[in-house]
Chains A and B, each alone.
Chain A
Amino acid sequence: MQTSKAPTKNSFNYAVSITAWLALIFLLAPVLLTAIVSFNSSFFIEFPPKAFSFKWYWNIANIAAIGQSTLISLSIAFVAALLCTTLAIAAALAIARYHFPGKVLMTAFLLSPITMPMVAVGIALIQFFILIGTAFTWYSLLIGHMVLVIAYPIRTLLASLTLMNPSLEEASLSLGASKFMAFWTVTLPQLKPGLISGFLFAFLISFDNYPISVFLVRGGLTTMPIEIFNYIAQNLDPTPAAFSTLYVIIVSLIIAFAERRYRIISYSIK
């Protein structure tokens, strides 16, 4: 990694630094201010906060169908991320290790779901599911989410595979290991950052999704973002602020842990 020593102090560098720090404050401000609001006992959003209270955190339990929707979101996100990561390992291996005609096109195709408007994916899928008669089921929601997140593990695994040194695997093969053994014991552990970060992003993107879910759900089948969104659309109180703060804390812990343990960020930046 190439980094420079301290740059000379001139107006250009100064401007760059100032803008960068302001931009970072811009990035953090909403989250921090939301946290402040979440502890404010007042019913309306107002600054400066008047009194400290935890009550909005307890009120999260009053959000309609919050328990059921969170359970559904968790199960969908987990299974989708798991299945997609598995499919992605195979696909990434194929792309990284083999040279076949149309490889570039194939890669572009496999990564294309990210660039599609989410509303388009939602509309296309619900019409399709209605056609084949499985609309509004947990499985159709799962499939919708899988299409949404499949590109993320593929991307991270491709990056991991191209960075990986194949000689270790070749060495184990030459020592008599079967292709599968070599893959399982040598390649897979080296892919851990790519696997974990791919799984994590697939999970988080699926968990958070609204546009695709909103087309594919109805009745008892609902997701957490949909219920939170409905609550925000109908109520003035800062319960969503408490929810947001909780959400960001949990996500931060997960990512910090994954970085500490599996170095997902450091590896994916190289």
Chain B
Amino acid sequence: MNPHIPTIRDPITEITFWSRFGGAFCLLSPLLLFLAFFYVVPFANLIQESFRLTSLDGQVSDSLTLHQYIKTLSSSRIARVMERTFSMSVLTVVITLLLSYPIALLMIRIKSTPRTIILLVIFISLASSLIVRNYGWVVVLSDKGALNAFLQAIGLIQEPLRMMYSKVAIVIALVHFSIPSMVLPIYGSLLRQPRSLTEASLSLGGNSWQTFRKITLPLSLPGVFGGTVLTFALSMSAYVTPLMLGSPSSSMISQVAAEQLLVQLNFPYGSAIIVTLTVLTFILVAFYATILRRVFRADV
């Protein structure tokens, strides 16, 4: 109450910002400095670059403009490529999920040694070069490749199936690429579920499918969410896979942006396209998370 009485600052017990967070600050600052300079600043530069004009746009001015974004959003080609990228990504996520979840369930049920072997296979897949894995699909899907040779050998088809350099090849390769990063989060999620829950459900008269649908699956949604989001983000931004296995008619949005940058040398336009992709992916993921939370009451 009396403003003239000075507060006593006891250096032993006083808790300042520095004493509380000083350690964390020192530990984090090298990394933060690095990221600030080489991650935040370049991206900020990318964003401001997307608001500029070049001589390729006909008019040159130094002021910031929405021209590139208007061009991106009104281009029918960009819309077409975006829609194609989106549908291929969704397809990839669905197929990957349908293949990965059973693998995770299998890993839960089998003995330790086969499980470690499967885990090794998954980790090796994860660590193998993307170019190596895509080339593997060139070997399998070529007109004289393994799949066609097999189908023709068993008499299922007469003429080779045209699979390479198409959306089919891209989706197959993307699924193959995404399975490891989908299996691991789901597996982790399943591990955390106590066995007693499933046992209780089965003993109460539920069959395996009902137990799965009502107990296992809902509890595993955080893992499913993690896996699907990662797969979706990686597919939406895919660059090497469509480059190796696709054709101009199956191009994906990262290719379009890269082409603007590397060939057309239209930096602002390329930047605008990539910013649009990033923002769009972010919005879609947030929307997806909201649906899972509200509709399925998942803990994501």
Contacts and interface: CB of A to CB of B under 8 A. Distances in A.
Contacts of A4: 108-109, 195, 198-199
Interface residues of A, number: 97
Contacts of B148: 47
12 contacts: A15-B102, A24-B103, A87-B30, A90-B27, A93-B27, A94-B28, A106-B28, A110-B35, A117-B277, A118-B254, A127-B46, A247-B128
Interface string B106-121: 1011000000101111
Interface stretch (A62-70, A163-171, A187-195, A203-211): A203-211
Contacts of B274: 117, 119-120, 123
Nearest to B39: A147
B191 A146 contact: no
A98 B38 contact: no
Contacts of A248: 124, 128, 132
Interface in B165-190: 176, 179-180, 184, 187-188
Interface string A75-97: 00000000000011011011101
Interface residues of B, number: 96
Interface string B76-97: 0000000000000000000000
Interface secondary structure of A, over-half rule: helix
A4 B25 CA distance: 45
A223 to B, nearest CB: 11
B270 to A, nearest CB: 6
A259 B135 contact: no
B67 interface: no
A127 B119 contact: no
Interface in B210-255: 212, 230, 233, 236-237, 239-240, 243-244, 254
A158 interface: no
Interface in B261-300: 261-262, 267, 270-271, 274-275, 277-278, 281
A209 to B, nearest CB: 8
Given A94-B23, A125-B42, A150 B31 contact: yes
Interface stretch (B8-16, B53-61, B137-145): B137-145
Contact of A16 (B20, B102, B179, B240): B102
A99 to B, nearest CB: 9
Given A36-B146, A127-B267, 16 more contacts: A4-B108, A4-B198, A4-B199, A27-B122, A33-B139, A47-B144, A90-B31, A106-B28, A117-B254, A119-B258, A123-B270, A128-B42, A150-B34, A208-B130, A265-B119, A269-B119
Interface of A: 1-4, 6-8, 10, 12-13, 15-17, 19-24, 26-31, 33-34, 36-37, 44-48, 87-88, 90-91, 93-95, 97-98, 100, 106, 109-110, 113, 115-120, 122-128, 131, 143, 146-147, 150, 200-201, 204, 207-208, 210-211, 214-215, 225, 228-229, 232-233, 238, 240-241, 243-244, 247-248, 251-252, 254-256, 259, 265-266, 269-270
